[in-house]
Amino acid sequence: MLTGNLLWVLMGTMLLGIAAGITGTFSFLQKQSLVGDAAAHAALPGIALAFLLTGQKDLPILMLGAGITSALSVYCIQWIVSFSKMKADAAIGLVLTVFFGVGVVFLTVVNHSPLGNQSGLNNFIFGKAATMTKADLTWLFLSATIIIIVSLLFYKEWKLLIFDPMYAKGIGLPIEALKATLTVLIVMTIVTGIQSVGVILMSALLIIPAVSAKLWTRKLSSMLVVSAVIGGVSGIVGTFISSTRTGLSTGPLIVLVAAAIFFLSYLFSPAGQMYKYFRKKQFRKQGEVG
């Protein structure tokens, strides 16, 4: 069952899950979960454009293109919110759909062009972890490791930035630079993940582990650990299930495993529904006695 390549792919999606769990927690706490969704969709025009300009399917080039348009979309959202009376949710929705629309336009151009044998660019929409090559996996390992290490390095600064930005500014931390670093890291996570889970479902990996972790703990350090574990477990289990049958896409399965973990957390965690229900019952009983 566990052939050599599958083992590497499992390791890759686990690392990806951990990286997404960590950066996702930071973006969730900044109330920017859906910005990640927009940035993930915005990777599509970058991939298609990079292919159109260079005519090559080398992963680093496509990733670079994806990273540039993703970052551009995040910048656009911030710019629109600060320079017009548009609300954040409308800005996110607008940027997301327009970037994705542009992506579809470029993708169609690629499909029609003589280079047309793009076989594979369409895979970026839903992801195909099973077909990743050794070279692709090397990139995945490298960037996931960088993301995890950098997040741990900036842990203290980001904690302050999220919970008390005024104080952080007061003691002289470069707020804007820190925010930008966080954005870059989130974009990097997305770009790393789109090959295995696809642009549409990448945001799930950023959001679901973080939301589930929030139900278990109220401390940032433990939340990061729980979120990373949930992300990692989803990556491994999802990839493993998808490898048992041909034709099962990896992305949806990873997301569904994460969603199952969220559902269990929603019911059984300390902040979950079961606990609340019993607390309420207990209160009522006490009331009757009194």
Partner 1 sequence: MIELWVIITGLLVGITCGMAGVFLILRKMSMIADAISHTVLFGIVMAFIITQTLNGFWMLLGAAVAGILTAYLVQLLHSSGIQQDAAIGVVFTTLFAAGVLLITLFASHVHLDVEHILMGEIAFVPWDKWTFFAITMPKAVWILLLVLLINIGFLLLFFKEMKLATFDSLYAASIGVPILFLHYGFMTSISFTTVAAFDSVGAILVVAMLIGPAATANLISKSIKQMFLFSMLYGGAAAIIGYYLAKFWDTSIAGMMATAVGLLFIMTLCAQKFMDYKRKALVSKLEGV
| DSSP class per residue in 231-288 | HHHHHHHHHHHHHTSTT--HHHHHHHHHHHHHHHHHHHSTTSHHHHHHHHHHHHHHHH
Positive/negative CA dihedral, 255, 193, 186, 153: positive
Least CB distance to partner 1 at residue 267 (A): 11
Query: What distance in Å separates the CA atoms of residue 190 and residue 198, rounded to the nearest whole number?
Result: 9
Q: How many residues bind partner 1 (CB under 8 A)?
A: 57
Calculate the CA 124 to chain-centre distance: 14
Question: 132: which DSSP letter?
Answer: -
Does 279 engage in binding with partner 1 (CB under 8 A)?
A: no
Residues whose CB is less than 8 angstroms from the CB of residue 138 and which lie 6 or more positions away in sequence, other chains included: none
User: In whole angstroms, how far apart are CA 44 and each of 103, 127, 163, 208, 226?
Assistant: 5, 12, 33, 22, 30
Selected binder of partner 1 within 109, 130, 146, 160 (CB under 8 A): 109
Instruction: Rank residues 37 and 232 by Cβ distance to partner 1 and give the closer one.
Output: 37
Residues 159-218 that bind partner 1 (CB under 8 A): 200-201, 203-204, 207-208, 210-211, 214
Instruction: Rank residues 19 and 208 by Cβ distance to partner 1 and give the closer one.
Output: 208
Least CB distance to partner 1 at residue 80 (A): 8
Instruction: Rank residues 112 and 134 by Cβ distance to partner 1 and give the closer one.
Output: 112
Q: How many CB atoms lie within 10 A of CB 117?
A: 11
Residue 25's nearest CA partner among 193, 212, 181, 263 is 212
Does 219 engage in binding with partner 1 (CB under 8 A)?
A: no
Selected binder of partner 1 within 11, 52, 94, 229 (CB under 8 A): 94
Look up residue 268 and give its two tokens.
């059984």
Instruction: Rank residues 13 and 150 by Cβ distance to partner 1 and give the closer one.
Output: 13
Query: What distance in Å separates the CA atoms of residue 231 and residue 14, rounded to the nearest whole number?
Result: 7
Residues 22-81 that bind partner 1 (CB under 8 A): 28, 31-34, 37, 80
Options 3-11, 149-157, 177-185, 253-261: segment touching partner 1 (CB under 8 A): 253-261
Binding mask 116-155 for partner 1 (x = CB under 8 A): ------x--xx-----------------------------
Does 100 engage in binding with partner 1 (CB under 8 A)?
A: yes
Does 104 engage in binding with partner 1 (CB under 8 A)?
A: yes
Burial 58-75 (b: 16+ CB within 10 A, else e): ebebbbebbbbbbbbbbe
Instruction: Rank residues 106 and 139 by Cβ distance to partner 1 and give the closer one.
Output: 106
Long-range contact set of residues 265-269: C-beta below 8 Å, sequence gap at least 24: 265/212, 265/215, 265/216, 266/212, 266/215, 269/212, 269/215, 269/216
Instruction: Rank residues 229 and 259 by Cβ distance to partner 1 and give the closer one.
Output: 259
Instruction: Rank residues 276 and 285 by Cβ distance to partner 1 and give the closer one.
Output: 276
Look up residue 162 and give its two tokens.
């999220």
Selected binder of partner 1 within 71, 107, 148, 188 (CB under 8 A): 107
Residues that bind partner 1 (CB under 8 A): 28, 31-34, 37, 80, 83-87, 89-94, 96-98, 100-105, 107-109, 112, 122, 125-126, 200-201, 203-204, 207-208, 210-211, 214, 247-249, 251-253, 255-256, 259, 262, 266, 271, 273, 276
